[in-house]
Amino acid sequence: MSAATLLAAPYRPALVPLPSDWPVWPELPRLEISIFPFGAVFSGDRLGLDVRTEFDPGGRALQVRLDKPGSLPIAEADFFLDGNEGDWEARLPWVWDTSGQAGWHTLFVNLAVPSAAANGVGSIPRQYPLRILPAARRSAGWRQATSACCDYYYLSGTESERDIAGLIAQTEQIYENLNARMGGASPKLAIVFLPRLYGQGGLVLQEGILSYMDRNITGTDFLVVLEHEMTHLFSAVFFQTDARPPLILQEGWAVYLTGGHYHSPEPLQERAAALIQTGNFAPLPDLADSFYSAQHEAAYIEAGAFVEFLAGRFGHERVLAMYRDPIRADSPGAALDSMLRRHFHLTLAECEAAWLESLRLLAPDPDQVRDVEFTLQMFDMLRSYQQLYDPGGFMFDLWLPDTSRARADRISADYLPSPAATESITLEILFQAARKAAGEGEWSRSREMLEAIGRILEAKQRRVPDPIAVSPLAEKYRRLVTAILRCGFEPLSIAFRGERAVAEIREPTSLEKEVQDWDNGNGGWVRAGGARC
Ligand SMILES: [Zn+2]
């Protein structure tokens, strides 16, 4: 994403083989290995591994050895079944301090078997070549700030450090607002601002994790995402870990309270009606039972709109009382049904029927329908982009090791963006341009951009050597991205106006932002008006 910010020396892509390029024995269970920090490991980073396999390891552990197959393992971890993706996974963050280890190494990875059966296929170690690059990462230290409501953690040299005063003021404001609407729960919140995209930009582990980046490819309103996650953090004070409302209510409550999912205000009822019109509306019992496997944006819009409907019909306070009073049941749908019966004396089916009746009376604005369709499609592509270009950022495969331990051990590299190649920056700029065109009602232009992104992702999947080249539109963006990078700036967004372009950039060290005009001449893109790089 923002190479120049994080590297003291100019970054040049190294010849690190991708895990998928590494040799595997066809008769052995396939192990998919990702190395972290993703993108490049520089001397001084603490190396971590994520290992996946479709093969049931049958209780065997993963072992990792370094350089000698007969040496003692540097790390060992058990596999767990990943419910979202259906495969087995073992995670080993921070297993090897690579200080002073620049150069080539070999990892030997195998499944540990009991010694009596040591000849099983799992015991044959797989070898993975690994290149540690010379130290070039600019050190980023953890910083902490405190305000009345919250503790904040962020990294030095990132956009959150630059903007921390404003972020604190905004968080305080949201907190005050939430406290009034959540019944004065007043918990102290822990919020971590990180300069790379995790999931859709926000999530709650033990702490609230918020992606805060100058080049925000989601096009979402940061404060809406912040309020959404703060709602979850607030909610945590109501519930025992084993007794929470079903996800459809937890997420629906956060969307309703925030007044929208990615933006606010969002006309949630109209957007739910748009889901019906476009065939993206799921029956509520189904959605409740498989909330995270449903299309993400559709699920959140529907859940938020449903909670808003309940609040409109029964009042905010009664919905809050229901939300704070979860019932355990065999399935999330059954829990939701019981909660609605207890608090409103209606079944889920009755509530859904009443809601659908009110939605049928709505004729959503055609632009609203197009925007809902665009949002679903764009975020599906964005998640594919994360899977293909930024493993560890994808919502079901996050590489986000314990942030409190990272602070104690002064580890930061895992939370910084990967050194970005021109290819991924170009794609990110395209995502933004598509969102901007959609926001301006330029639907054919936004569709054209999504189509270009789709072709590039598909080419990347097929391992086409230069995926950007499949789209002339993307190629046009890449030429300017390259010129801007060559000038020593980081492009944040680009808008073309004929042979001229307006580019928002930032200076990589100071992170100061600037808007620049660029001209396309015979010799390629140059700064307008003779401005030098
Ligand atoms: Zn949420």
What is the domain range of residue 285?
A: 240-364
Q: How far is the CA of 398 from the centre of ligand 1 (A)?
A: 15
Nearest in space to 355 (alpha carbons), one of 320, 304, 300: 304
Q: How far is the CA of 251 from the centre of ligand 1 (A)?
A: 5
Q: Provide the pLDDT for residue 116.
A: 43
Number of domains in the chain: 4
The neighbour count for residue 173, using CB atoms within 10 Å, is 13
Q: How far is the CA of 254 from the centre of ligand 1 (A)?
A: 6
Q: Provide the pLDDT for residue 19.
A: 45
**Residue 520 clears pLDDT 60, i.e. is over it:** yes
Domain check: are 21 and 127 in the same one? yes
Structure tokens at 251: 């997420």
Q: Provide the pLDDT for residue 210.
A: 98
Q: How far is the CA of 228 from the centre of ligand 1 (A)?
A: 6
Percent of the chain with pLDDT over 70: 92
Q: How far is the CA of 245 from the centre of ligand 1 (A)?
A: 13
Q: How far is the CA of 491 from the centre of ligand 1 (A)?
A: 30
Domain check: are 94 and 148 in the same one? no
Q: How far is the CA of 300 from the centre of ligand 1 (A)?
A: 8
Q: How far is the CA of 502 from the centre of ligand 1 (A)?
A: 35
Q: Provide the pLDDT for residue 123.
A: 61
Please write the tens of the pLDDT for every residue from 325-363. 999 999 999 999 999 999 999 999 999 999 999 999 999
Domain check: are 296 and 334 in the same one? yes
Q: How far is the CA of 191 from the centre of ligand 1 (A)?
A: 15
Q: How confident is the model at residue 400 (pLDDT cuts 50, 70, 90)?
A: very high
Residue 146 domain flag: yes
Q: What is the DSSP letter of 158?
A: S
Distance CA 470, CA 303 (A): 38
Distance CA 302, CA 355 (A): 11
Provide the angle, in degrees to the nearest 10, between the axes of the packed helices 472-486 and 443-461.
80
Q: How far is the CA of 253 from the centre of ligand 1 (A)?
A: 9
Higher pLDDT, 523 or 423: 423
Residue 3 domain flag: no
Q: Could you tell me the CA-to-CA distances from 39 to 12, 100, 418, 421 in Å, in that order?
A: 11, 19, 5, 10
Nearest in space to 62 (alpha carbons), one of 91, 95, 82, 20: 91
Distance CA 381, CA 394 (A): 11
Domain check: are 23 and 90 in the same one? yes
Residue 37 domain flag: yes
Nearest in space to 143 (alpha carbons), one of 367, 339, 410, 348: 410
**Residue 512 clears pLDDT 70, i.e. is over it:** yes
Please write the tens of the pLDDT for every residue from 12-48. 333 344 444 444 444 566 788 889 998 889 999 999 9
CA-based end-to-end distance of the chain: 21
Structure tokens at 210: 């918020």
Structure tokens at 28: 């052995």
Q: Provide the pLDDT for residue 421.
A: 87
Please write the tens of the pLDDT for every residue from 245-268. 999 999 999 999 999 999 999 999
Do you find a cis peptide bond into 37, omega within 30 degrees of 0?
Answer: yes
Higher pLDDT, 386 or 54: 386
Q: What is the DSSP letter of 137?
A: B
Q: How far is the CA of 288 from the centre of ligand 1 (A)?
A: 14
- How much is the mean pLDDT over the chain? 91
Tell me, rounded to whole angstroms, the distance of Cα 155 from its chain centroid: 18
Contact assessment for residue 376 and residue 438, using Cβ atoms and an 8 Å cutoff: no
Q: Provide the pLDDT for residue 23.
A: 45
Q: Could you tell me the CA-to-CA distances from 381 to 125, 430, 457 in Å, in that order?
A: 36, 12, 8
Domain check: are 42 and 120 in the same one? yes
Q: How far is the CA of 396 from the centre of ligand 1 (A)?
A: 14
Q: How far is the CA of 315 from the centre of ligand 1 (A)?
A: 22
Q: Could you tell me the CA-to-CA distances from 100 to 96, 134, 137, 335 in Å, in that order?
A: 12, 8, 13, 55
Residue 9 domain flag: no
Q: Provide the pLDDT for residue 395.
A: 94
The CA-CA-CA angle for residues 82, 83, 88, to 5°, reads: 25
Q: How far is the CA of 230 from the centre of ligand 1 (A)?
A: 9
Q: How far is the CA of 222 from the centre of ligand 1 (A)?
A: 14
Q: What letter represents residue 238's amino acid?
A: F
Q: Provide the pLDDT for residue 28.
A: 61
Q: How confident is the model at residue 179 (pLDDT cuts 50, 70, 90)?
A: very high
Structure tokens at 365: 């604005």
Domain check: are 211 and 283 in the same one? no
Q: How far is the CA of 382 from the centre of ligand 1 (A)?
A: 18
> DSSP string of 216-270?
-TT---HHHHHHHHHHHHHHTTT-BTTB---HHHHHHHHHHHHTSSSSSS--HHH
Domain check: are 102 and 31 in the same one? yes
Supply the CATH number for residue 65's domain: 2.60.40.10
Domain check: are 339 and 405 in the same one? no
Q: Provide the pLDDT for residue 114.
A: 54
Q: How far is the CA of 391 from the centre of ligand 1 (A)?
A: 21
Q: Provide the pLDDT for residue 411.
A: 96
Q: How far is the CA of 376 from the centre of ligand 1 (A)?
A: 17
Domain check: are 272 and 203 in the same one? no
Residue 2 domain flag: no
Domain check: are 214 and 286 in the same one? no
Supply the CATH number for residue 174's domain: 3.30.2010.30
Residue 5 domain flag: no
Residue 524 domain flag: yes
Q: How far is the CA of 514 from the centre of ligand 1 (A)?
A: 33
Q: How far is the CA of 271 from the centre of ligand 1 (A)?
A: 18
Please write the tens of the pLDDT for every residue from 108-125. 988 886 544 444 445 677
- State the pairing for strand pair 75-78/80-81: unpaired
Q: Provide the pLDDT for residue 27.
A: 55
Percent of the chain with pLDDT over 90: 80
The neighbour count for residue 193, using CB atoms within 10 Å, is 27
Domain check: are 246 and 98 in the same one? no
Tell me, rounded to whole angstroms, the distance of Cα 247 from its chain centroid: 19
Residue 474 domain flag: yes
Q: How far is the CA of 233 from the centre of ligand 1 (A)?
A: 10
What mean pLDDT is predicted for residues 500-522? 95
Q: How far is the CA of 249 from the centre of ligand 1 (A)?
A: 10
Distance CA 252, CA 246 (A): 10
Q: How far is the CA of 231 from the centre of ligand 1 (A)?
A: 8
Contact assessment for residue 312 and residue 268, using Cβ atoms and an 8 Å cutoff: no
> DSSP string of 372-408?
HHHHHHHHHHHHHHHHHH-TT-STTS-----HHHHHH
Domain check: are 202 and 246 in the same one? no
Q: Provide the pLDDT for residue 22.
A: 44
Contact partners, residue 405, CB within 8 Å, separation at least 6: 411
Q: Provide the pLDDT for residue 13.
A: 37
Please write the tens of the pLDDT for every residue from 426-482. 999 999 999 999 999 999 999 999 999 999 999 999 999 999 999 999 999 999 999
Where is 347: in which H helix or E strand? none
Q: How far is the CA of 301 from the centre of ligand 1 (A)?
A: 11
Structure tokens at 160: 């959150």
Contact assessment for residue 31 and residue 126, using Cβ atoms and an 8 Å cutoff: yes
Nearest in space to 311 (alpha carbons), one of 447, 126, 181: 181
